[in-house]
Amino acid sequence: MILTVTLNTALDVTYRVPRLHPHASHRVTDVTERPGGKGVNVARVLAALGHEVTATGFAGGRTGAVVRELLAGCPGVTDALVPCAGTTRRTLAVVDEASGDTTQFNEPGPLVGSAEWTAFLARYEDLLAGARAVALCGSLPPGVPVGAYAVLVRAARAAGVPVLLDTSGEALRRGVAARPEVIKPNAAELAELTGSRDPLPATRDARRRGAHAVVTSLGPDGLLAVTDQGTWQAAPPRVLSGNPTGAGDSAVAGLLSALTEGLDWPARLIRAVALSAATVRAPTAGEFDPRTYEEVRGSVKVTQAG
């Protein structure tokens, strides 16, 4: 199975409004709720691709109970979330139907105590025994040590399990030094890590900091990968309109699924770009439009860079 870790799980709530106006009341035309957080989104996409997936992290309070109830309805995803005393956060996305733009509000998450963190580490090490790969995704909830991902990367490496790390800030800075198999920053996260806004030298710099491979998300321009086997850029055939929330999580699912299947880097990037584009055309994060996926997958352009 593939293991996904979402330390800061969420209940993702999406509102759709005809047009978003600041300082005004709005009539919501549609509301959806999904189990969320980056790793949970990755798990749902992996399951849709036919992979056996286990999702772990923290869940607590009434919101956590709703997340677990909804997760039970996701075929192919096994719930291995660890209880915590605090209440799982909510994220609120407001979709402006006129423009297609999305405005996001993210709560900070529950305060995790030291005993809860210790319980999670024990569960994580047990789960690694049956994992083919692991994705470590998203922000850290309050109370979790800032070096948490470095600890989790080292545990996975000791167990012989390849790790993909998708986080930001100091958690990324410390995590990359633990030498994960892959990191997947976006352009802003990469610039924060390296101090450079030039994608190619910044991606190379990030790899020198410890990761075996760095795959940078360039938004509508696709992905840039610097690996020990070469450097490539993969781009979709055209820019697709829609909701970009969760597109990066789908790229992670594409990279991780292709890694476990033994595909080469160009094939991994093609899958990741196609899934990312297909998620833009889906109504909520953690889903992708199958027709768009098949269409884009056959048209992704992969070129060697640098």
Q: Which residues belong to the active site?
A: 249
What is d(CA 164, CA 256) in angstroms, rounded to the nearest whole number?
Answer: 7
Length of the chain counted residue by residue:
306
List the structure tokens of 81.
Answer: 């979330």
List the structure tokens of 134.
Answer: 């692991």
Question: What crossing angle do the helices spanning 187-194 and 169-177 adopt, rounded to 10°?
Answer: 70
Residue 52 burial (CB count, 10 A): 13
Which residue is listed with tokens 């039970």? 72
- Nearest residue to 137 (alpha-carbon basis) of 251, 279, 219, 236: 251
What is d(CA 85, CA 80) in angstroms, rounded to the nearest whole number?
Answer: 16
Q: What is the CA radius of gyration of the chain?
A: 18
What is d(CA 46, CA 27) in angstroms, rounded to the nearest whole number?
Answer: 34
List the structure tokens of 290.
Answer: 């199958």
- Nearest residue to 40 (alpha-carbon basis) of 85, 86, 84, 73: 73
Cα–Cα distances (Å) from 6 to 20, 42, 138, in that order, read 30, 10, 6
Q: What is the DSSP letter of 186?
A: B
| 8 Å CB contact between 68 and 39 | no
